[in-house]
Structure 1
Amino acid sequence: MRISRRTTHSDLRSLEAAAAVARSGFACIFSSSDEYERALITERRARGRYSARQGSWTMTALILLALSVTGAVIYWV
């Protein structure tokens, strides 16, 4: 049983190409975690994740809480 040299060489090149493709799949486009976080926040801002209306909801809840506490104090006095 004789293996041709041409087949072995092409198989070796095929394996090397497959290994190169597999290694490139693990590459990361960010050089550091800070760069990743900055890109993530920029993307979320672009989608409207950090909008001003969330702050207005918080302010409304605080005002309602203050009014209810004031009402309770007036009721008990």
Structure 2
Amino acid sequence: MESIRRRNPEAVLSSLEAAAISARGGFACMFSTAEEYETALITERRAQGRYGAQRSRWPIVMFAGCAMMVVGTVLLLS
């Protein structure tokens, strides 16, 4: 194996640059921002059916409670 001192400095520099570019390519991410990642993640989860429509009973319970309060108020005041 030959020493780095015996090599051409330009060749050593270009070899190091090529190694750095290769190393950076291994860690590259296909998303440039976190927002792009989250959008792709949500899209993928929707395609899998994880975000299905969930019907909540909360509005019906609130309506029934308010209606009972109104009826109770009317009965108390009459």
Question: Which one has the largest radius of gyration?
Answer: 2
Name the residue aligned to 1:18. Answer: 19
Name the residue aligned to 1:73. Answer: 70
**Aligned mates of 1:35, 1:76 — CA distance in 2:** 53
What letter matches 1:44 in structure 2? R
| Shift in CA distance, 5/18, structure 1 to aligned 2, threshold 3 Å | closer
What is the percent sequence identity of the aligned residues? 42
State the aligned residue count.
67
What letter matches 1:42 in structure 2? T
Question: Normalization by structure 2: what TM-score?
Answer: 0.57
Question: Normalization by structure 1: what TM-score?
Answer: 0.57
Runs of 4+ in 1 over 4 A off after TM superposition: none
The unaligned stretches of length 5 or more in structure 2 are none
The Cα RMSD (Å) is 3.5
